[in-house]
């Protein structure tokens, strides 16, 4: 058990380090940052003990599929405050996880609510579904920010960097042993976000 928890600690450190590297590189070269993000994620999936892939699927793993980087899906947005509201978000296993809605971001492709994980240490969480969900991406949605796990593209002033080229699938897509919150109804875009990770 201790080894498993230390592996998880190492995995989260690596993800945080990766996003730190991506934030710095993205300012100079967003495409290069995207390539680096993809390469490190593939290596973590292929070889890390806490990979989302089941152990028996790692040897044959050849990399995650993504769309090419498209700057049309890179935005910055100030969080528009909303009355704080606690609510349960459905999970991939039929359970719920408690979040607090505290704001929204208004983007050219639609509006998304920004959530706070209502657990010890917390974190900003921004899941979404779009017109690709259930077709070329997971039907339960993808994640853009999950700061509790280190997935954070940063800010410019008081505006969040919301680059959908870095959208990724929750771990439950790869192995049902993982419990993943799904994008709530308020975070369903009618637009097709043709960016980020594919199934």
Q: What is the DSSP string of 9-43?
A: HHHHHHHHHHHHHHHHHHHH-HHHHHHHHHHHHHH
User: For residue 31, what are its two tokens?
Assistant: 């495409």
pLDDT at 17 over 80: yes
| pTM (two decimals) | 0.96
Categorize the per-residue pLDDT at 121 as very low, low, confident or very high, splitting at 50, 70 and 90: confident
Cα gap 52→96, rounded to integer Å: 20
DSSP secondary structure code for residue 6 in this structure: H
Categorise residue 37: left if φ over 0, alpha if ψ from -120 to 50, beta otherwise: alpha
Share of the chain above pLDDT 70, in %: 100
CA–CA separation, 44 vs 47, rounded Å?
A: 5
Secondary structure of residue 146 in the 3-state scheme: strand
Examine the pLDDT at 78 and tell me if it is beyond 90: yes
């Amino acid at each position: 058990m201790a080894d498993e928890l230390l592996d998880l600690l190492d995995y989260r450190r690596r993800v945080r380090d990766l996003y730190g590297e991506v934030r710095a590189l993205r300012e100079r070269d967003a495409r290069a940052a995207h390539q680096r993000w993809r390469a490190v994620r593939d290596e973590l999936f292929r070889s890390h003990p806490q990979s989302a892939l089941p152990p028996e699927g790692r040897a044959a793993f050849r990399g995650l599929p993504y769309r090419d980087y498209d700057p049309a899906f890179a935005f910055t947005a100030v969080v528009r405050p909303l009355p704080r509201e606690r609510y349960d978000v459905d999970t991939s296993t039929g359970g719920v996880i408690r979040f607090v809605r505290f704001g929204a971001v208004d983007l050219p492709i639609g509006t998304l609510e920004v959530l706070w994980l209502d657990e010890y240490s917390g974190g900003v969480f921004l899941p979404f579904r779009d017109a690709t969900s259930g077709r070329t991406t997971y039907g339960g949605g993808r994640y853009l920010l999950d700061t509790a796990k280190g997935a954070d593209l940063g800010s410019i002033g008081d505006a969040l960097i919301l680059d959908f080229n870095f959208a990724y699938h929750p771990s439950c897509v790869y192995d049902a042993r993982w419990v993943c919150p799904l994008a709530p109804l308020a975070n369903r875009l009618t637009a097709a976000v043709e960016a980020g990770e594919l199934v």
